[in-house]
Amino acid sequence: MISTRVSSAAARFRAERMRLQRRTGFLGLRSRRGAALLISLCAVVLLTGVIMAFFSQANLNRQITGSSTQYSRAEMFARSAMEDIVGDMRREIVETSTELRGDPSAPNPAFPAVYVPRPGASAAPAKVGVVGADAIGSRTICKVSTEGKGIHTNSTALGSPVAIDTPSFNGRKVSASAWFNSGGPRLGSQSNLPTWVYITRSGPGTPAVADAKAKNGPDYVLGRYAYTVYDTSGLLDANCVGYPSVATNLGSGKSSMAYAELTAVDASVTTARVNDFVKWRNPSAIGSTNLWASYLSDFAEPNGFLYAKSGHQGFLSRRDVIRSSTQGILPGGANLYTHFARFANSPSWAPPADAPAMGGIGGSGGEFNYQANADKSLDGAGNPVANRNVLNVRHPSAATIRYYTDKGVQDTYDVIAGDPLVRTRFSLAKLAWLKYNGINDSAFASSVTAAQREEAIKDCFGLTWNSVKSRWDYEHGSNHRVLALGEISGREPDFFELLKAGILTGSLGNHPGAIAPTTTSTTAGPAGLYFEYLSSNKDRQILQIGANIIDQADADNYPIAIYQENVPMPAYGAAELYNTVFGQENLPMLQRMVQVSCKTDEDSETEGEIDIWMQPEVWNPHEPSTADPARYPDTPLHLRVVTYGGAMLKISENNADSTVGIPKSKERFNQDVVDFGTDVTAPKLQGIVAFVNPKPGTTKPQAFFESPAVIAGYGNSLYSNYQDLSQVSGPKNHFFYRDMTNAHKGKTRPIGVWLGKLPRDPRKNPLGYPTHWVEILPISSPTEPQLTFVLEYLEEGTTRWRPYCVLARVQEMYGPTFGPKEPCGFVSWFRDFNLARPDPRTDRFSASAGRLNSSGTTYNRMWSSGSTIQGGPIVGNAQAEGHGSTSYLMPSTAAGFVYQAPIKTSFSTAYLLSDWSRNIALVNTDPRFWYADPDGIVRPADGWRGDQPTAAEPGTGDGMMLFNNDLNAAKYPTLVASKERRRPVILNRPFRSVGELGVVFRDQPFRSLDFWSEKSGDSGLLDLFSVTDAGFGGITGGRYNINAAQEGVLKALLRGTARQPSGSTTSPLSQAEADAVAAAITQNLSTAGPIANRGELGRRLTTPIFTSYAAAANTATSKPVLNKTYGEAPMRALVSQMDTRTWVLLIDVVAQCGRLSPNAAGLEDFIVEGERRYWLHVAIDRHTGRIIDRQLEVATNE
């Protein structure tokens, strides 16, 4: 049974297994088929995704490609627009200018062109589309794309009526805020936004709407652009401006834009904020005055402020300026600053007008038609033209030119025919190479050898040191002439040649005419011989001015000597002396030579004698601060007067009456003619008077600053400065006299050069005792050596005496009168005749003769042979004789000197040559005197703006160098207080501004180089010279263009300027003064138009500057602005960093690509497909059209 069950179970198991197998096999097939379907479906999905992704990516790539294309198109349009704008700016230069390629009568087409604005054309970019500009924008915005207008007045009109804030077809627009503010350069704004210029297949313009959307037409629109051009040349260079407070004492000189007062740009800017800014930008240069000065002189200025020193910060873009201003790093608003200051470091001066247009004459051959001759090499008489348009003076042929840094390191550059001769301004820092006793080795780099120093000085100055004669010899030009620019070949012009180029030739060479014949008018000629030859030599005056410039810039008071061989004067003794010019230092000068006679006998019936001396009277007319040996140890302490030439003495005797048969007069001549020789290397002891040079403030001996004073001997006199030593002074060159009041009997020895004795006949005639007077006459004829008096200094530490002041070749002089019964020892000088020069600094007009006054305020009449130069108020004809007056032997009227009716005094007539201190031509009956320069122009002297006294008010004396030098302080307090600031200045330091050349004596009485009158003959110097050799490759930063300067910029440059460049009273311009001048300049430039070059600052802008300055400065009792050094302070502050030649622009351009809508009703229906905006910074030379530098910057919103 069991087996049966088992079998049965097994059978069932097998049957079930078979059933399951059959079932399982069917189900497995179905499963496999479903999986395949699922896989297939998944594959389809995946493939579809891939396909969709592919098409999606392809579509995205197509969009990206399209966007990139539009971006590129917009960028291309923007760049093209910028190039068009720059091209149109350059075309504006060409189309508004006269093109010059050398001499206009024979232009050389191979020469590079220079462009000079035509009459009526502007030196600045013409404003186009500027409407409703704000105060900032009115100075900076110069071009705006505008309906119906192009870039300049003569260019094609391109602008459409569609402004950039008009929505496009697809809603794009540029708002005023985005254009000027958040997305703009922050340089001002205006009410009118730019309009679009449409770009078509045929170029930019404003097409008709139908043509603009015709796809196949030539005027089909492809894009559009708009622009605003900003003139950024008048902004402050953010990479230069600002200085630390530790350098405040340097800032008053305004030698660099770095010394602008940034506290003036905004009321919120403090000194602490400026210090923080400078510390951030120049961290290693702020620790001390020396560190800052070294940073400027050794790195920043030689590199033109174009590079940042290692470890320092710099501004590289407009966005840097905006961000720094926003973040409070940069003091004040971004509208006052730029990072892109690029200027051509080259002059562009040309004579401003012909002499007849300035009230003068044309001259022989038209030599004074300055403007007409400016582009010619020769004038109508065949003479070289001195005053050229420096832009158009060319190198005649190819050459390799030597050039020198301020440290004397030589470099070279190649030129071809037609390249400009004057490449850069001459650096006044090179003056440090020269000393009175040779080459200043310390001024050169250590790598420069002795031979290279000599070569550098010869190339840059035309000078060679003459160790035998202890002088510099000028020998650069043909026959030792100072050449005109057109005569120079193969080198750069030297220092003196540039002086000659910049000073109008008709303002040079004034002379007094030939020596006066004794029988002619008192105004027929001077007392000296051959001045018509010597003084008329213009090269000599150029050398004299140059020597004065050199001595202003050194730290000693030893005058430099420069010899020029070829002065056309007849052969004459001591010619080397007369052919040498001596620089002006802070030393006493020969003011007068007074004939003093002493009666050595009592009146009796026996023959007597009279001794005759020529007594020197010296005066130091300068402001005294730089004459103190404690501050300037190289100051001469020992001086002497040396006499050359000879004379004959004459005495005349008048009887009391000629009616009794006794002759009325008779003459006696000295049998012994006095002869001092003419050997300047071995002067005769008998003609020498030596004395000491007291320092300022000394009372025993009295210093020579107060008034002209005699040299007096030892004793209790205030004037005990005579060196009573036989080896240095002639033994007879002193004498005792009987004091007329007995108050100081025997206490003083007046000193003079002893000429000899004359016999006198004191015998009584029937009607009384005779009167005697003495004359000094030529030896025999006018060709014999005349008396010459030379003031010399002893070079301390040596036995070498050097000349520096000459009163030359005087012919004759009347002498004192002795009345009857004068006691023994009587000295006749109370009303003595004298030979005098109104200004002791120059012998240009020789000496004139006059009588000293017996009245007026003097220091002490018993110790001084003269009164004050100009001792009291001038009211009508009340001017007293002796106060700068002469009576005869005056410059000739034929030489251009004008003498109105002379002053009548109690015993004579007087001609007030002190009036030359003003030199103003008047047409009324006032007793004034003046002279014209050779070109016929009456140019004012330094005192022409002086505070003139009235009957009720003595005035302050300001502006009058000679006025009331020793008046009583209690009676005239304002006059005494103004004394120092009235005096001429000797700097005794390097120039800090080119404007400081205005302190340089011009070698004409009372005249320094003039930068404060509209008739200036010297203003060209402001453009031809610089303080340092700034700039790299002729490009420099740290400059501004005054024609585009905002008022705030000028305020910053003016504030803090020293009113006087030297002395103890160098207080700065007040805020009111600086702000008034800044406002006057911007107003004048806005109404009268731009100025053409730096020289115009010292000519055309003088009146508005002075008027505004004076109005802000003057009070009833103090008028320092009337003094020339004070009055020129604004010029000194502005000129060294000033430029007018370079257009520095920011071109703000937005460009869009796209098309007009097919249904466009107007040009505003433009579909914008891409947009780009750029700021292009570009600097263009106005006179060549050359692009100096450029920088492209992407404009982004901030």
Q: Model confidence over 1006-1022: pLDDT tens digits?
A: 999 999 999 999 999 99
Give the least confident one: 65-69, 777-781, 1145-1149. 65-69
**Beta-bridge partner residues of 897:** 931
The more confidently predicted of residues 480 and 1175 is: 1175
Query: Which pLDDT does position 1110 carry in this prediction?
Result: 83
Query: Which pLDDT does position 5 carry in this prediction?
Result: 43
Which segment, 428-437, 636-645, 947-956, is predicted with the most confidence on average?
A: 428-437
In which residue are the tokens 């601060």 written? 625
CA-only gyration radius of the chain, Å: 42
Residue 394 is given by DSSP the state: B
**Interatomic CA distance for residues 503 and 1092, integer angstroms:** 17
Give the least confident one: 148-157, 544-553, 696-705, 761-770. 761-770
Q: Which two tokens stand for residue 936?
A: 């016929």
Helix segments in 96-151, DSSP class H: 137-140
Q: What is the dihedral of CA 1066, 1071, 1077, 1082, to 10 degrees?
A: 140
Measured CA distances, 132 to 135, 1054, 1082 (Å) = 10, 29, 18
Mean pLDDT (the chain, rounded):
84
Q: What percent of the chain has pLDDT over 90?
A: 55
What's the CA angle centered on 715, arms 713 and 717, to 5 degrees? 80
**Interatomic CA distance for residues 282 and 309, integer angstroms:** 8
**Interatomic CA distance for residues 613 and 815, integer angstroms:** 10
Q: Which two tokens stand for residue 466?
A: 């003459």
Its pTM surpasses 0.75: yes
Give the least confident one: 830-844, 919-933, 1109-1123. 1109-1123
Query: Which pLDDT does position 874 carry in this prediction?
Result: 37
**Interatomic CA distance for residues 438 and 456, integer angstroms:** 14
Query: Which pLDDT does position 27 carry in this prediction?
Result: 45
The contacts of residue 859 (CB under 8 Å, 6+ apart) are 706, 707, 709, 966
Q: What is the mean pLDDT of residues 769-796?
A: 79
User: Parallel, antiparallel, or unpaired for β 580-582 and 561-563?
Assistant: antiparallel
The pLDDT confidence band at residue 1185, using thresholds 50, 70 and 90, is very high
Q: What is the mean pLDDT of residues 669-692?
A: 83
Q: What is the mean pLDDT of residues 434-447?
A: 97
Query: Which pLDDT does position 1159 carry in this prediction?
Result: 93
CB half-sphere exposure, 513, CA atoms < 13 A: 19
The helix (H) or strand (E) run that includes residue 80 is: helix 2-95
Closest CA to 238 of 278, 271, 275: 278
- The SS3 of residue 869 is coil
| Tens-place pLDDT, residues 817-867 | 666 555 544 555 444 567 888 889 999 999 888 765 543 332 232 233 334
The more confidently predicted of residues 12 and 557 is: 557
The pLDDT confidence band at residue 4, using thresholds 50, 70 and 90, is very low
Do the beta carbons of residue 343 and residue 1039 sit within 8 Å?
A: yes
**Side by side, which strands form the sheet with 801-810?**
688-692, 638-644, 787-794, 801-810
Give the least confident one: 150-159, 745-754, 1029-1038, 1133-1142. 745-754
- The DSSP secondary structure of 946-1004, one letter per residue, reads -----SS-----TT-TTBTTT--TTT-HHHHHTHHHHS-----S--SSGGGGGGSEEEE
Domain residue limits, the chain: 1-231+1137-1198, 236-347+988-1113+1120-1136, 387-502+537-585, 531-536+586-931
Query: Which pLDDT does position 918 carry in this prediction?
Result: 86
User: At 692, phi and psi to the nearest 5?
Assistant: -95, 160
Residue 914 is given by DSSP the state: G
User: Parallel, antiparallel, or unpaired for β 885-886 and 909-912?
Assistant: antiparallel
Query: Which pLDDT does position 670 carry in this prediction?
Result: 57
The contacts of residue 1101 (CB under 8 Å, 6+ apart) are 1081, 1084, 1091
Secondary-structure percent of the chain, ordered helix, strand, coil, rounded to 5:
25, 20, 50
Do the beta carbons of residue 769 and residue 821 sit within 8 Å?
A: yes
In which residue are the tokens 């302070």 written? 1129
User: At 279, phi and psi to the nearest 5?
Assistant: -65, -40
What's the CA angle centered on 617, arms 612 and 622, to 5 degrees? 170
- Helix crossing, 495-502 with 450-461: angle to 10°? 10
Residue 490 CA from chain centroid, whole number: 28
Q: Which two tokens stand for residue 1029?
A: 């050799």
Do the beta carbons of residue 983 and residue 999 sit within 8 Å?
A: no
Do the beta carbons of residue 446 and residue 452 sit within 8 Å?
A: no
The pLDDT confidence band at residue 749, using thresholds 50, 70 and 90, is low
| Cβ neighbours of 1176 (radius 10 Å) | 23
| Tens-place pLDDT, residues 583-642 | 999 999 998 888 777 766 555 555 677 778 888 888 899 999 899 888 888 999 899 999
Do the beta carbons of residue 283 and residue 312 sit within 8 Å?
A: yes
User: At 1121, phi and psi to the nearest 5?
Assistant: -65, -20
| Cβ neighbours of 28 (radius 10 Å) | 10
1170 has pLDDT over 60? yes
User: At 205, phi and psi to the nearest 5?
Assistant: 170, -160
The dihedral sign for the CA sequence 360, 363, 367, 371: positive
**Interatomic CA distance for residues 422 and 402, integer angstroms:** 13
1087 has pLDDT over 60? yes
Residue 401 exposed, middle or buried by CB count within 10 Å (0-12, 13-18, 19+): middle
**Interatomic CA distance for residues 1094 and 216, integer angstroms:** 55
Closest CA to 151 of 234, 232, 91: 91
Query: Which pLDDT does position 922 carry in this prediction?
Result: 73
Letter string b/e over residues 591-612, b meaning 16 or more CB atoms within 10 A of that residue's CB: bbbbbbbbbebebeeeebebbb
Q: What is the mean pLDDT of residues 1150-1170?
A: 95
The pLDDT confidence band at residue 870, using thresholds 50, 70 and 90, is very low
The contacts of residue 1023 (CB under 8 Å, 6+ apart) are 347, 348, 349, 390, 425, 502, 1093, 1094, 1095
What's the CA angle centered on 1012, arms 1010 and 1015, to 5 degrees? 70
Residue 787 exposed, middle or buried by CB count within 10 Å (0-12, 13-18, 19+): buried
Residue 1014 exposed, middle or buried by CB count within 10 Å (0-12, 13-18, 19+): middle
**Interatomic CA distance for residues 170 and 1153, integer angstroms:** 13
| Cβ neighbours of 743 (radius 10 Å) | 9
Q: What is the mean pLDDT of residues 182-200?
A: 95
Closest CA to 545 of 948, 1079, 888, 1020: 1020
